[in-house]
């Protein structure tokens, strides 16, 4: 296995759905299947926050969601929990600044996809040096999906990183919706990552489809 090519990573980042059981009004498997039908390009299992599953229940839910992703050719990324990602042979992991060191995680996961959160130029450069395949930048807008989220920075942070030569695949996260996705792509993001915009929607399929359209039309306009 070799590391994912940047162009392939950029394609996969287009509409990146992140979810766990606490984010879903309907059964998570149903929400994920609908999101995939709506055209999401990547999925992250993020079982976190008050009421999140742990242990065997968390493992079983992850396996169930990974199976749905595999059936539809959608890469399955695990948030934070590197051991779970290895146990499931997931396609990759996402870690933040407060999680395990990126270099150590890269050594553990070999050529699997490694995503790293970055909030500024220094963190973005460090993530690249540590071998990240993409960076998650945000929160761009205020978010209710992450209890300890930092202050929203707006699309300007994306423009700043690109202006300083940060060319790595980059996904914007934090309060992104179909209404603001266009300005995030125009600022230089390769894709958008969402939790509640899809997970809390009455129709996750429609919500995903609207995000896909918003990203595609912004890229066409580029
Ligand atoms: N989970 C994430 N996924 C992304 C992605 F790029 F994938 F969109 N970007 C950022 C985060 C946030 O990661 P982190 O700062 O560790 O907080 P948490 O573990 O609570 O999510
Ligand atoms: Mg984390």
Residue pLDDT tens, the chain, 222 long: 799 999 999 999 999 999 999 999 899 999 999 999 999 999 999 999 999 999 999 999 999 999 999 999 999 999 999 999 999 999 999 999 999 999 999 999 999 999 999 999 999 999 999 999 999 999 999 998 888 889 999 999 999 999 999 999 999 999 999 999 999 999 999 999 999 999 999 999 999 999 999 999 998 876
> Is the CB of residue 193 below 6 angstroms from any atom belonging to ligand 1?
yes
List of domains in the chain: 6-221 (3.20.20.70)
CA 97 to ligand 1 center in whole angstroms: 9
Smallest CA-to-CA distance from 150 within 164, 140, 160 is with 140
Q: What is the pTM of this model?
A: 0.97
- Which residue owns the Cα nearest ligand 1 atom 5? 136
Q: Is 26 annotated as a binding residue?
A: no
> Is the CB of residue 171 below 6 angstroms from any atom belonging to ligand 1?
yes
ipTM (interface predicted TM): 0.99
């Amino acid at each position: 296995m070799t590391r994912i090519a940047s162009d392939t990573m950029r394609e996969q980042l287009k509409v990146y759905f992140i979810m766990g059981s606490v984010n879903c009004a309907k059964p998570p498997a149903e929400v994920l299947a609908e999101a995939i039908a709506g055209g999401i390009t990547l999925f992250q299992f993020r079982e976190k926050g008050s009421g999140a599953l742990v242990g065997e229940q968390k493992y079983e839910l992850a396996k169930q969601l990974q199976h749905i992703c595999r059936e539809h050719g959608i890469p399955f990324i695990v948030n934070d929990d590197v051991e779970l990602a290895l146990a499931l042979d997931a396609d990759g992991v996402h870690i933040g600044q407060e999680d395990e060191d990126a270099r150590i995680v890269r050594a553990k996961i070999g050529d699997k996809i490694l995503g790293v959160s970055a909030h500024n130029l220094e963190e973005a450069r460090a993530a690249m040096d540590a071998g990240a395949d993409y960076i998650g930048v945000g929160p761009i807008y205020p978010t209710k999906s992450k209890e300890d989220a930092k202050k929203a920075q707006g699309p300007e942070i994306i423009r700043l990183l690109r202006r300083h030569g940060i060319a790595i695949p980059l996904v914007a996260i934090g309060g992104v919706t179909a209404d603001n996705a266009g300005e995030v792509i125009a600022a230089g993001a390769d894709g958008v990552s969402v939790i509640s915009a899809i997970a809390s929607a009455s129709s996750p399929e429609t919500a995903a489809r609207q995000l896909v359209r918003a990203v595609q039309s912004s890229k066409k306009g580029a």
